[in-house]
């Protein structure tokens, strides 16, 4: 059984994963990875895992669930070494199964263990699977996600070339968005696709190095920010220090939606504070779509900085009108019919004394299907709001993402079939305004040419394959048809003993 979004709630756009790597002799790297993943939990809540290398073997511990559910003191105490690779997952390729949890693991023909965590989404998975199939090696694909494909392809070539050189040959063949952290027994590696769609940063510890999806994860382990891993760069860290090589020419196209919703507000991307960007978005939104109102309230938490900016620029008072239950998300428990009818109240509940008799400006980060906003407007009116003016801190989402965000299909995107007035009528608001793409880009402090905004404008910077060769469950279908057969899931004894530490 797969976890489903709580019935009656719109599933928010989700990023695929958070990755974290540490090379630090003499440190408790498993605990550093644990806290690093804790800081990145917002990027993926389906599964979590940590692998540790001690110079002679690689051990992987992973399971479905939140970081705090998968790991405890006893589990972390078994992970001893000087290199760790951590991962928290939200799936955009492959189902939510233990086998698809990361880090992935493969053993090379030379006996070297290779473990890998991946954030992003490849668009040439069918082509890469054919490479695996043509090799005739059934052990190369240990799961049905693109991360296992990458691990298998590197492991296949590493027998003759070694991990580093094999990676330099495989990485240029990958198309799509990818930030990788991987390791063997002695070396930590990190790589970022040529477009740098997803963020990846390098930090320094007193006695080591850290790689993370966001700068907030560096902060939590006491690492100082050094720089971003550059688009098209492979970084290697071992006892000889840090070295770097480029496997592709940089063509920066960072995801603008990271600024809108995905990244933590206390993270910086390309030198720009995410919180400051969101506040600026709110200010620009107030200039583009003013409203006569008594109170500006956010849809917490992602709408809060933009609501603050809107209030500052408009002169309208800011207030908290909604209380969020932070523990509602994806769940195995199906709500009863009574609870289902309450819908959004599982997640948000109004402060009636604040809302009653007020004309409200409600600031949210985005509209996907429109279900959440429709229920929210109705709930606010029932709580006594005189008017509800909805303001959105991103342009209309009209196109799906194939680079690591799990949006709805294009047919399900409400802005794809309706103009702004149509969406306003659909959600029942008194007025509706989206920030323009031009203002969103200006708030990011990045040139338009360095940003991917495909979900807003349909301009995909990385060429996409035919529709039948892309999709979340593509590999499951192709693997079932392949001649490779069912892959082995238990690695050779002594390396990545996943089965030995798998939770019942």
195, part of any domain: yes
Residue with tokens 């949006």: 407
Reduce the DSSP state of residue 374 to 3 states and report it: helix
88 in a labelled binding site: no
Angle between helices 146-161 and 125-135 (to 10 degrees): 50
Residue 274 is part of a domain; what is its CATH number?
3.40.50.2020
401 in a labelled binding site: yes
Cβ distance 126 to 469 under 8 Å? yes
Are 276 and 248 members of one domain? no
Question: Alpha helices, DSSP H only, in 192-255?
Answer: 215-220
H or E element that contains 348: strand 348-350
Are 425 and 493 members of one domain? no
Are 273 and 249 members of one domain? no
Tens-digit pLDDT profile for residues 452-485: 999 999 999 999 988 766 654 444 444 444 433 3
Each residue's pLDDT, cut to its tens digit, for the chain (504 residues) gives 333 333 334 445 555 699 999 999 999 999 999 999 999 999 988 899 999 999 999 999 999 999 999 999 999 999 999 999 999 987 655 556 767 889 999 998 889 999 999 999 999 988 888 887 776 665 556 555 788 899 999 999 998 899 999 999 999 999 999 999 999 999 999 999 999 999 999 999 999 999 999 999 999 999 999 999 999 999 999 999 999 999 999 999 999 999 999 999 999 999 999 999 999 999 999 999 999 999 999 999 889 999 999 999 999 999 999 999 876 554 445 556 666 666 677 889 999 999 999 999 999 999 998 988 999 999 999 999 999 999 999 999 999 999 988 776 888 899 998 999 999 999 999 999 999 999 999 999 999 999 999 999 999 999 998 876 665 444 444 444 443 333 333 332 233 333 333 332
Count, residues in the chain: 504
Are 274 and 207 members of one domain? no
365 in a labelled binding site: yes
Joined tokens for residue 100 = 């698809």
Residue 57 is part of a domain; what is its CATH number?
3.60.20.10
Q: Which of 141, 28, 45, 126 is nearest to 82 (CA)?
A: 28
Residue with tokens 């680079």: 403
Give the range of the structural domain holding residue 148, as residue numbers without chain letter. Answer: 16-253+484-501
The reported pLDDT for the residue numbered 334 is 54
**DSSP string over 269-281:** ETTEEHHHHHHHH
Are 437 and 292 members of one domain? yes
Q: CA–CA distance from 385 to each of 2, 40, 116, 178, 358 (Å)?
A: 38, 36, 51, 45, 5
Are 217 and 329 members of one domain? no
User: Backbone phi, then psi, for 20, in 5-degree steps?
Assistant: -150, 135
**DSSP string over 437-502:** HHHHHHHHTS-GGGEE-HHHH---SS----GGG-STTHHHHHHHHSSS-SPP-SPPTTS--HHHH-
452 in a labelled binding site: yes
Largest CA distance in the chain: 73
292, part of any domain: yes
Which of the residues 6, 9, 17, 316 is marked catalytic?
A: 17
194, part of any domain: yes
Are 273 and 236 members of one domain? no
Q: How many helices (H) and strands (E) does the chain have?
A: 19, 27
Cβ distance 356 to 381 under 8 Å? no
76, part of any domain: yes
Are 312 and 227 members of one domain? no
Verify whether residue 17 is a known catalytic residue.
Answer: yes
Joined tokens for residue 83 = 């290199």
End-to-end, the C-alpha distance of the chain in Å comes to 16
Are 272 and 249 members of one domain? no
152 vs 111: CA distance, rounded Å: 14
Are 292 and 408 members of one domain? yes
189, part of any domain: yes
Q: Where are the beta strands (DSSP E) in 54-124?
A: 58-64, 83-89, 104-107, 113-122
Are 101 and 183 members of one domain? yes
The reported pLDDT for the residue numbered 14 is 52
Total domains in the fold of the chain: 2
User: Backbone phi, then psi, for 303, in 5-degree steps?
Assistant: -90, -5
């Amino acid at each position: 059984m797969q976890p489903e979004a709580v019935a009656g709630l719109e599933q928010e756009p989700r990023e695929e994963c958070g990755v974290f790597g540490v090379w630090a002799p003499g440190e408790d790297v498993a605990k550093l990875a644990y806290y690093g993943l804790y800081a990145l939990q917002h990027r993926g809540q389906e599964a979590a895992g940590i692998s540790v290398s001690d110079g002679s073997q690689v051990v992987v511990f992973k399971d479905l669930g939140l970081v705090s559910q998968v790991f405890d003191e006893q589990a972390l105490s078994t992970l001893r070494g000087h290199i760790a690779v951590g991962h928290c997952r939200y799936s955009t390729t492959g189902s939510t199964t233990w086998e698809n949890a990361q880090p992935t693991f493969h053993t090379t023909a030379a006996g070297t263990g290779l473990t890998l965590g991946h954030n992003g989404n490849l668009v040439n998975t069918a082509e890469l699977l054919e490479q695996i199939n043509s090799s005739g090696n059934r052990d190369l694909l240990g799961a049905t996600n693109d991360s296992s494909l990458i691990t298998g392809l590197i492991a296949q070539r590493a027998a003759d070339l070694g991990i580093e050189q094999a990676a330099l040959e495989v990485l240029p063949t990958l198309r799509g968005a990818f930030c990788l952290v991987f390791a063997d027994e002695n070396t930590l590696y990190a790589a970022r696709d040529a477009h740098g769609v997803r963020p990846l940063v390098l930090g320094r510890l007193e006695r080591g190095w850290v790689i993370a999806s966001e700068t907030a994860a560096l902060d939590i382990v006491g690492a100082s920010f050094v720089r971003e891993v550059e688009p098209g760069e492979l970084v290697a860290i071992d006892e000889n220090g840090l070295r770097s090589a480029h496997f592709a020419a940089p063509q920066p196209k960072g995801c603008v939606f990271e600024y809108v919703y995905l990244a933590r507000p206390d993270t910086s991307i390309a030198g720009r504070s995410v919180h400051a960007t969101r506040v600026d978005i709110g200010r620009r939104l107030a200039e583009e779509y003013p409203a006569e109102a008594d109170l500006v309230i956010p849809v917490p938490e992602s709408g809060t900085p933009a609501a603050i900016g809107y209030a500052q620029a408009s002169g309208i008072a800011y207030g908290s009108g909604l209380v969020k239950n932070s523990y509602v998300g994806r769940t195995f428990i199906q709500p009863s019919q009574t609870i289902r009818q309450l819908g959004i109240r599982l997640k948000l509940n109004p402060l009636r004394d604040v809302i009653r008799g007020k004309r409200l400006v409600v600031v949210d980060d985005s509209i996907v299907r429109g279900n959440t906003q429709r229920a929210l407007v109705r709930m606010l009116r029932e709580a006594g709001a005189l008017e509800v003016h909805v303001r959105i801190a991103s342009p209309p989402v009209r196109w799906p993402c194939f680079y690591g965000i799990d949006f709805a299909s294009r047919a399900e995107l409400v802005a794809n079939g309706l103009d702004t007035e149509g969406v306003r009528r659909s959600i029942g608001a008194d007025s509706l305004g989206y920030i323009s793409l031009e203002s969103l880009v200006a708030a990011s402090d990045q040139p338009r040419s360095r940003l991917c905004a495909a979900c807003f404008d349909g301009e995909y910077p990385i060429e996409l394959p035919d529709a039948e060769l892309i999709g979340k469950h593509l590999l499951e279908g192709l693997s079932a048809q392949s001649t490779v057969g069912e892959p082995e899931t238990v690695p050779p004894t002594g390396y990545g003993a996943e089965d030995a530490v798998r939770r019942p």
